[in-house]
Structure 1
């Protein structure tokens, strides 16, 4: 299925002048990666501590900034000779830690569907792990299907809708469970395509 991830090249093109300026200023990819996690943790803390539903409006803003940070750190690494093994670790861990830090506190808010939120976060970890396992078995890092950017879109939309009070909380579980189903499909898709890629490489050898 199509993914928001496919828009990444165009988004990177818009960010390239900023990335070049950051590189000249001495900003590193790893610093940006860590900053993205700190942003997620700060927003998660606000969601847990502030009762006002308007605090949910932080979600679309923070998720857009995080998407920008994720694009920037990758471009700094690839285009400005900053790739490192530490950076690869931080990049993968930062994604799942950031998701958990920002999304799990929603389960602490009155009336929010705890089970749906917890399963949504845990399944997201498995989706990303499946993508990384592709590298372990000799394929590329897989990004097929409903991934990080799509989960962020769902949570950002939830923050917008419920921050403005446009829908009753009783409806909140539906988009989360649909996202869970799409995430489960992404796990299967990433695993199958990683195995197919490995077989194709073997046949070509």
Structure 2
């Protein structure tokens, strides 16, 4: 199933000139990763402290797009400019999980949004990324199988925050969107696990 992640090569091509400029100015891959995580935590705290301020939620889709760009940039800096490191790999994986939790968990405090669905979604999302990484441990590659990976989650939560931010009252549409995201995340978890095992020779895909 096609996912937003499939657009990554084209997105990276658009960002490549910016990467060259960042290298000239001494920006590092780890610096970009840590900056993205820091801003994500800060925005999450602002939302958590002001759960009734719908206008703040409008910052979420904007930041999620910028964070997606920063995630692409740090990867290209590492691969294409000799900045790969073991520490960078840890920052990259851990930073994504921390940023997701920091940004999405505060939405459970927004009136009318089902907190159980939000928490379950964050927990399942962490499990999805963990399976993707564990695939390496069992002899496979880092798995990014869909249909609801990191970029797709960002789109889903960005849409949710956009609708809430423009004043749409939470209701059946909000519950429905969260449940669709939950089901797609669960399917992604199963897909990554199956493909990881198949790649490692454990099962037939």
Scaled by the length of structure 1, the TM-score of the pair is 0.94
| 1:20 alignment partner in structure 2 | 20
- After the TM superposition, which of the residue ranges 25-34 and 176-185 deviates more from structure 2? 176-185
Aligned partner (choices 178, 181, 202) of residue 180 of structure 2 = 178
| 2:197 alignment partner in structure 1 | 195
For residue 199 of structure 1, report the CA deviation from its aligned partner: 2.1
CA RMSD of aligned residues (A): 1.3
- Rounded Cα–Cα distance in structure 1 between residues aligned with 2:176 and 2:96: 24
For residue 110 of structure 1, report the CA deviation from its aligned partner: 2.0
How many residue pairs align between the two structures? 200
Alignment pair present for 1:120 and 2:107: no
For structure 2, the residue ranges without an aligned partner over 5 or more in a row are none
| 1:56 alignment partner in structure 2 | 57
| 1:4 alignment partner in structure 2 | 4
SS of aligned partner of 1:160:
helix
Q: Which of structure 1's runs of 4+ aligned residues deviate more than 2 A? A: 166-171
For residue 95 of structure 1, report the CA deviation from its aligned partner: 0.6
| 1:203 alignment partner in structure 2 | none
Alignment pair present for 1:34 and 2:28: no
For structure 1, the residue ranges without an aligned partner over 5 or more in a row are 201-205
Quick check: 2:143–2:196 contact (8 Å CA) kept in 1? yes
Scaled by the length of structure 2, the TM-score of the pair is 0.94
For residue 111 of structure 1, report the CA deviation from its aligned partner: 2.0
Q: Deviations over 1:1-56 (max 9, x none)?
A: 21111111100000001011101111100010001111111111111122321111
Q: Deviations over 1:67-100 (max 9, x none)?
A: 0110000000000000000000000000110000
SS of aligned partner of 1:140:
coil
- Rounded Cα–Cα distance in structure 1 between residues aligned with 2:145 and 2:169: 31
SS of aligned partner of 1:26:
coil
| 2:156 alignment partner in structure 1 | 154
| 2:90 alignment partner in structure 1 | 89
Quick check: 2:112–2:170 contact (8 Å CA) kept in 1? no
Quick check: 2:57–2:161 contact (8 Å CA) kept in 1? yes
- Rounded Cα–Cα distance in structure 2 between residues aligned with 1:2 and 1:180: 18
- Rounded Cα–Cα distance in structure 2 between residues aligned with 1:152 and 1:99: 9
